[in-house]
Amino acid sequence: MQLKSLEISGFKSFSKKSTFFFDVPITAIVGPNGSGKSNVAEAFRWALGEQSLKSLRGKRGEDLIFSGPVATSKLSRASVSVIFDNADRHFDLDFDEVKITREVFRDGVNEYSINGTAVRLRDILELLAKISLGASGHHIISQGEADRVLTSNPIERRTMIEEALGLKLYQWKLDESEKKLAKTEDNKKQVESLRREIAPHLKFLKKQVEKIERADELRRELKGLYRDYLKREKVFIDFWQKKLGEEKSVLNEELRGLDGRISLLSASLHTDSAASAEQKKIAEAEQSLRALRQSRDEVSRSLGRLEGLIEVKTARLSAGPEEEIDRPISLSSVRALAEEIKTALGEAEQASDFSIVKNIVSRVRSRLDNFFATYEPHKEDADLTGELEKLRSDLAQLEKGIIDKNKEEQEILATITTLKQAIRQEEDTTRGAERELFELKTRRGELSSKRGELLAREETIRREEEDFQREIQEGLVLVDREILMFENEAISIDDVLGEDRRVQEERRRQIEKVKIRLEDMGAERGDVLEEFKEVTERDTHLEHELADLEASELALKQVMQELRIKIDVEFKEGIVKINSAFQQFFAEMFGGGTAKLEVVAPVVRKNREAKLLSDDEMMAEMDSGDQTANVGKEGIDINVTLPKKRIKGLAMLSGGERALTSIALLFAMSQVNPPPFLVLDETDAALDEANSRKYGQMIVNLSQSSQLIVITHNRETMARAGILYGVTMGGDGISRLLSIKFDEATAYAK
């Protein structure tokens, strides 16, 4: 790795493009004060990522852009490019030459590029960290900053040493890991929050899905029940429909034959009877008898009413007007009433016509009314006597009428008896036909009864078939068309007929139970399942994401632990190496003495205000007896002892001694992990002639591991350079270059 050149354009006093070539171990840049030679060191610092404008002697980004004495000479941009030879691929880039460029514009915008490709500042810092170049600037040491390594607090000093040791890249990785870890923890919290947020809804959906799954299980169960039930029902119905149809066909055929024969016999018998005069006479006599009995019954009722009225009025006539309603009744009157009722009931039992029975009942009721009316009190006896006479006259006429009608009834009955005897004689001749007709009608009745049973059975089968079809339709709604596959079930007619029908009814009840359970569930599929799937997938994704985050967190912690261990180990090993070189350079500078770095912890004041202390402040705190506590990151302390002096510690060094000490330490740091180049900006200004010679020899030794760009006024330093660049400035405020070969530089220095 070699620094090839530096290109400056519009940066500070370098208005025009100026190029410095570095093809020798030591390059010196000289010039009078104010010529702009220190701007070269700042150009290096700025191009390599410096963000502090204060360290670049500016306040705003546009302060870095050339501004001449007149407004028209102002430039709109400034750029600096550092070019490296990358033939050995020290940079992990597939280029033989790597050009790092930084530009700034008047609006303060900065742009970075590598070989013309725009990149981030972070990309440049990471690239430079691999070759021990970084933002701390330990490789660019100016006159005013040479003492910074001594005046810095222990933590700042540690940062400079870590960068010099090439640990900055690890530190960046550690910081980046810490940021990633913090982000991962935030992401974990967000994911956990999201999971907690959807958990209740997921739980609800899970219950709904479980409900749907139970419904699916019931549907599967229902499918099985339906297949068995429907197949058996179909076999049963088909069998009985066929069987009943056949039986009905045979029965109807026999009935048709019977009806034909019965019709013939009935027609023959009906013809004979219609021609019989006797039968007609019997019918007429019976009709007359019925009319006679009806008339007699009406007369009997009237007679009963008259008798009752006569008894009542007679009783009233014989009773006094003041007498109570309740009166004693003679036993003979009661017996007479009972005898009349018995007689009437006997007639009713023998009567063949219902109308006669009704008349008898009406007569009995009238008789009872008259009987009770007889015993009620009367008001006027004279009237009653007249009424009784009239009633008794009417009664005599009615009794005579009844006697006449009884005689007429006997005559009609005798006529009917005679006619029936004639008919019986006629029936003897047709009895055989009647017997056959009776037998045929009996058989027909049996067949009709059997046909009724068949029709009832057919009706039952028809209803069962309707139920069967209804079950299929309900099954299609509750399950699906799969239930129609019941036809494929292997169930024989023998299995169906050999089973009690109650078993099939039990199957149907079981189906109804499952259907009711399904209806009670009311679980709908569709959106619930889809939503549950989406929410579950989201929760699973979040769970996996959480697991990935936890794995990432664990991996980051492991990486961070490894990085901390690596930084700690390499830092402590580097401290040992730096101490060895520091002791060597310090002894050369001072002709002896001791110098070393010590790892210490920062301190906290009594008021618990955290503060990182410099070496002098720390010594003052410790000398004052202030009690401290070790907290936080370890820092670096510097302990020196000058030869032949009782001087210990940095606080007691003079300005020149501090300068030599800082130079010795910086050179020691650069030797442990040498950067590609070092820029020394008038770090030798405070040295006397003797120390300048020592300094010159030291930079010669340093140039064996790193290229040196020294900005100096010191002749001893210039004498060691291979190329001298002179920087001058005219009245226009523009810095110009003049290069001088080594032999010319030696003559110029003398």
pLDDT in tens, 265-321: 777 666 555 446 777 777 777 788 788 778 777 777 777 777 777 777 777 666 555
In a domain, 727, yes or no: yes
Q: Give the residue from 523, 520, 489, 521 showing the smallest Cα distance to 507.
A: 489
Residues 6+ apart with CB under 8 A from 180: 552, 556
Mean pLDDT of 722-742: 84
Residue 117 has pLDDT above 80, yes or no: yes
444 is a domain residue? no
Provide the token pair at 664: 């010795």
Mean pLDDT, residues 673-686 taken together: 84
Does 109 reside within a domain?
Answer: yes
The DSSP secondary-structure symbol of 11 reads B
Per DSSP, 84 falls in state E
**Residue 248 resides in a domain:** no
Q: What is the pLDDT of residue 203?
A: 85
Residue 396 is predicted with a pLDDT of 78
On whether residue 77 sits in a domain, the answer given is: yes
User: What predicted TM-score, i.e. pTM, was given to this entire model?
Assistant: 0.51
Token output for 671: 């030797």
pLDDT band at 200 (very low <50, low <70, confident <90, very high): confident
Mean pLDDT (whole number) for 347-359: 76
> Residue 686 is part of a domain; what is its CATH number?
3.40.50.300
Which range is most confident: 77-81, 280-284, 564-568, 610-614?
77-81
Q: What is the mean pLDDT of residues 481-500?
A: 77
Structural domains in the chain (count)? 1
- Residues whose CB is less than 8 angstroms from the CB of residue 567 and which lie 6 or more positions away in sequence, other chains included: 162, 167, 170, 171, 174
| CA Rg value for the chain | 69
Nearest residue to 133 (alpha-carbon basis) of 100, 168, 99, 96: 168
pLDDT digits (tens, 9 = 90+) for 136-161: 556 787 766 667 778 888 888 888 88
Q: Is residue 49 part of a domain?
A: yes
The pLDDT assigned to 229 comes to: 80
Structure-block tokens of residue 356: 């006669």
Give the C-alpha separation, 271 to 265, whole Å. Answer: 10
Amino acid at 268: S
User: Which structural domain range is residue 20 located in?
Assistant: 1-139+676-691+705-750
How high does pLDDT run on average in the chain? Answer: 80
Identify the H or E element spanning 671. helix 655-672
C-alpha angle 469-470-475 in degrees, rounded to nearest 5? 100
Residue 39 placed within a domain: yes
Q: Where are the alpha helices (DSSP H) in 498-627?
A: 501-521, 527-590, 615-623
Query: Is 28 inside a domain boundary?
Result: yes
